[in-house]
Amino acid sequence: MTSMTMVQALNAGLRRALEDDPKVLLMGEDIGPLGGVFRVTDGLQKDFGEDRVIDTPLAESGIVGTAVGLAMRGYRPVLEIQFDGFVYPAFDQIVTMVAKHHYRSGGITRMPIVIRIPYGGGIGAVEHHSESPEAYFAHTPGLRVLTPADAGQAYVTIQQAIASDDPVIYFEPKRRYWDRAEVDDVAPISGSPWSSRLVRAGDDVTLVAYGPMVRTCREAAEAAAEDGVSCSVIDLRSLSPLDLGPVVDDVRRTGRCVVVHEAPVVLGLGAEVASVVTEQCFFHLEAPVRRVGGAYIPYPPNRFERHYLPDVDRVLEAIDEVTAT
């Protein structure tokens, strides 16, 4: 086991994928000598060359369009979008080509493309640099969507995403880039990333989160325990496909559910989780499912983001509401 930040874990995972498969290519803006805006690809071009770690022009639509052609010729492109808000120029290519080409070709052509997107707020940036657009992509058939919560998950799931024959939108929670965790960088990669995982067991309330909010929910669970409320924490991890079986099983036991994400609550992924839990756990619920998330406004200037982002206090408030009945 090695202690790593999420940036270091992603770098190590990309390095291992490049070593294991000569068809893996990295593409993106400033990912070569600079190592990317967040230094995730630091040192990789020096070690693997400009033919495999490719600095591209500032044109997201061109990056993704080129990757489609490479994938059709048997390569596995891994693309870096510098910030969440920069993915929109490539939206046409992603939803009309990347997501649909396997279906359109009758299953003949695969699209083994990974699109890495740093997402979410909490770093003192502005809109276009702090957004959470995951619902757009989770709502698009043909795409898989993953988001790791910590360095250990990042190291494993980035390699599993690259190995997938389906296109994967890989959301990296940038506010957790510098959080440290223990990473098993020796054992063979195993297990499926397309499943939710129990992070903490509890008896009274089920907290459901993904990406940057998993740590927030763990901290809220620890605070609630001091007041005698025992909370489970479940990391969805895979946003498409959604694995809600463990969530349903846990809610049937606790009788209460709180769903947390940074994205706006209105029509966010929490709505899907809440509806499934309500449908399948209706006679087990002791209180309505509570959602905690961002406001339905563009991401605010950094001096106001602490009022926008869910924090431990807002999660605790939701826990109080569902346990008051």
Active site residues: 129
CA distance 30 to 84: 16
- 251's enclosing H/E stretch is helix 245-254
What tokens were used for 192? 């499926």
8 A C-beta contact, residue 116 and residue 172: yes
Task: Identify residue 72 by its one-letter amino acid code.
Answer: M
CB 210 within 8 Å of CB 235: yes
| Closest by CA position to 147, among listed 240, 80, 211 | 211
Q: Residues with Cβ < 8 Å from 104, sequence gap 6 or more?
A: none
Q: Report how far residue 121's alpha carbon sits from residue 285's, in angstroms, rounded to the nearest whole number.
A: 32
The torsion angles phi and psi of 53, rounded to 5 degrees, stand at: -125, 100
Percent helix, strand and coil across the chain, each rounded to 5? Answer: 40, 20, 40
Q: For residue 139, what are its two tokens?
A: 């709502």
CA–CA separation, 139 and 272 (whole Å) = 11
The CA distance from 270 to 286, in Å, is: 19
Helices 269-281, 245-254: inter-axial angle, 10-degree rounding: 60
C-alpha to C-alpha distance for 295 and 303, rounded to whole angstroms: 15
Of 92, 137, 131, nearest in space to 114 by CA: 137
Strand 2-5 vs strand 231-235: parallel, antiparallel, or unpaired? Answer: unpaired
Nearest to 149 by CA among 107, 211, 89: 211
